[in-house]
Copies of this chain bind each other. A is one copy, B any other.
Amino acid sequence: MERYVAGIDIGGTTVKMAVFTLEGDMVDKWEIPTDKTGGGEHIIRDIGASMKKQLDSLGIPYEALQSAGVGAPGPVDVENGLLFEAVNLGWKDRYPLRDLVKDALQIPTAIDNDANCAALGEMWKGAGKGAGDLICITLGTGVGGGIIVNGDIVHGAKGAAGEIGHMTAVPEGGYLCNCGKTGCLETVASATGLVRMAMDNIKAWNGASFLKEKVEKAGVISAKDVFEAASMGDEPAASTIDQLALQLGLALANAGSILNPEKIVLGGGVSKAGDLVLSPVKQYFRKFAFKPVGESTEIVVAELENDAGVTGAAWLAVNKI
């Protein structure tokens, strides 16, 4: 009988689920809504029911599923299988996620946080394939990170390793971050941070600007608006991109000089702007990195997109049980 593993990526809106072979080939993927009612008490029961139903419809006997991996939206105590908290799901202090999923699915289960799962996914089957040393960064609403050394995630003393988004990019006078600190990389390299910087640049700009007109008409702009305006040569938009690229290139160079990974993998919305962002980020990276690092560490774009989390969770199911 062929054996399979499950990869599960729990998010605030949907739970992404997938079945993989032991070699990491995806057999099927699907998602269910995240039911946050009752303090999130139905989420795990829903996962269990959906897994059984889906395997049934795939014609895979349940006994063929040998283990599961779960990516969780918050800091995790990997050893004890606990989620410290996941405020947006309603799960409280030290939620015993691993054992609850294990009971619901009746198979051995391993957990890690979602950013680490995404990094493992890119290492196993994506842009970092074949690399044992990797830094993965997701540039979305926030900036998440996962660090891989010798083919495994670095968790650190309190599970707080990989928090590249909370490197201090602006030591004095930076924007306030959600973490309580000011000047975090996340405040200048996330989509949210990009829009805020653009709004400030527009305020200080007296010349012609499509982006300024858009703000005056619509009241709000998105990161995509900034990218579009910059690619049309809009000056405050272009200088906003340059600010982001400088700060991101500098932070990656400093992370690179510490770890000299084979690859730095950039994912999330901001990385989808393509060469408009990537090309200056690479220039600043080479400018600020220790020379042998600038020459040997490659910056690449993530490949798995929304599948990174379930793929990395499946890697846990194969390698961490």
A interface with B by C-beta (< 8 Å): 75, 133, 145, 147, 149-150, 152, 154-164, 166-168, 171, 179-181, 184, 246, 250-251, 253-255, 257-262, 288-293, 295-297
User: How near does chain B come to A207, taking the closest CB pair, in angstroms?
Assistant: 25
Assembly stoichiometry (copies)? 2
Structural contact, B291 and A260, CB atoms closer than 8 A:
no
Structural contact, A296 and B258, CB atoms closer than 8 A:
no
A-B contact pairs, 25 of them (CB 8 A): A133-B154, A145-B258, A150-B150, A156-B261, A156-B297, A157-B262, A157-B297, A158-B260, A158-B293, A159-B292, A160-B257, A160-B293, A160-B296, A161-B258, A163-B257, A163-B258, A164-B257, A167-B290, A168-B257, A171-B246, A171-B288, A181-B290, A181-B291, A255-B258, A258-B259
Structural contact, A254 and B162, CB atoms closer than 8 A:
no
Partner of A133 from B75, B156, B296 at Cβ < 8 Å: B156
- Having A168-B257, A181-B291, one finds 17 other A-B pairs with CB under 8 Å, namely A133-B157, A149-B150, A157-B261, A158-B292, A160-B257, A161-B258, A162-B258, A163-B258, A164-B257, A167-B257, A168-B250, A168-B254, A171-B246, A179-B290, A180-B291, A181-B290, A254-B254
